[in-house]
Amino acid sequence: MRMRAAVLEEFGQPLVVQELDLAEPAAGEVLLRLVACGVCHTDMYTASGVDPSGYAPTVLGHEGAGVVEAVGEGVGSLAVGDHVVTLFSPQCRECVHCLSPKTNICLAIRDQQGKGYLPDGTTRLSRDGEPIRHFMGTSTFAEYTVMPEIALAKVSPEAPLDRACLFACGLSTGLGAAMFTAKVEAGSTCVVFGAGMVGLGAVAGCRLQGAERIVCVDLSDERLEMARHQGATDTLVGGVGGDGVVQAILDMTGGFGADYTIEATGNVAVMRQAVESARMGWGLATMCGVAGKGETLDIVPRLLITGRRVAGSSFGGVKGRDQVPQLVQRYLDGDIDVDAFLSHRITLDEVNTGFELMEAQDGIRSVIDFG
């Protein structure tokens, strides 16, 4: 079939919306009609050329939601008409990682996905007979996409897809970092660094876990006000210079630091602040942000010897097919205000505007409406 998609032709250049060919789904695959897709920082990160694993040409986009149009041979968990959220982090439910409660990083299709291919090592996207690689196994800056069955989460048809799409990446990453990676305990003190999509999700996750005190740190007063709306009890305006933020957090916590800190900026200096702000004895610093190529996190070993721990979190530790539908239901139940995150509605032709709005920190999330 012919369909329109936003193609990354060259790193550092605007995406080009054009017509491509999309092949039918093979065995174990699903044809999805996109209804909505968030414009995420990871898309812009790859488009810029600083992503060490990036490649071009490719169709970007991974924060998608839509309706199943057709299924390939052997697909049993999805049917035509189902509403689904795309998963860049799949869940086969069979590999050693999927069977373990310790991780959500599925191994089933990881190698081919990282190279831009579907599980059989080929693509369904092409232009004039030449293959176009898939991005993160999703490629949702497109009217249609073909994806593996194990990379789609079936959600309630009651959930508006322009909200549900946010659970495909940013919102689930933040919620999950608090709920599934850190496993924030009721009555605890938490500090979230960054009040973008992931950080605000982490604030909401800490609230849902019953944290008594939730401090959010960001440079923007407007975003900090949004953090209060999501459940932050305290806010701090702070950047990466000096020790002011760390000292302020120590002062707020009797000199000990916070039980849980969550970093959601991708800035290695802020990551260090998250470690230094964690409580002596048992503080856990969880890292969600993606740092630049070649950057390293500098930690004074004494901080670890005195009991602090550091954890990484991919997609918030969320097992996508099982837990994304549960998180969407929490939204439908009124536990999470997702409407507040949807800042701009744009068309596929305006996808580069979405990047510009993100660069200007204008709003939290621009969502492509496919109509």
pLDDT in tens, 221-256: 999 999 999 999 999 998 655 569 999 999 999 999
36 pLDDT exceeds 60?
yes
Per-residue confidence (pLDDT) for residue 250, from 0 to 100: 96
Residue 198: is it exposed, middle or buried by C-beta count within 10 angstroms (0-12/13-18/19+)? buried
The mean pLDDT of the chain is 95
**192: helix, coil or strand?**
strand
Residues 6+ apart with CB under 8 A from 139: 5, 58, 59, 60, 61, 62, 125, 145
What distance in Å separates the CA atoms of residue 126 and residue 53, rounded to the nearest whole number? 21
Instruction: Give the residue-averaged pLDDT of 170-198.
Output: 97
Q: Which residues are catalytic?
A: 40-42, 62-63, 92, 95, 98, 106, 110, 169, 365
Residue 368 near residue 17, CB atoms below 8 Å: no
80 pLDDT exceeds 80?
yes
| pLDDT band per the 50, 70, 90 thresholds, residue 48 | confident
**22: helix, coil or strand?**
strand
49 pLDDT exceeds 90?
no
Residue 28 near residue 74, CB atoms below 8 Å: yes
Q: pTM of the full predicted structure? A: 0.95
Q: Is cis: bond before 57, omega within 30 of 0?
A: yes
Q: Average the pLDDT over each of 49-63, 155-169, 261-275, 333-347 and give the range with the smallest value.
A: 49-63
**Euclidean distance between the first and the last CA atom of the chain, given in angstroms as a whole number:** 19
Instruction: Give the residue-averaged pLDDT of 313-317.
Output: 97
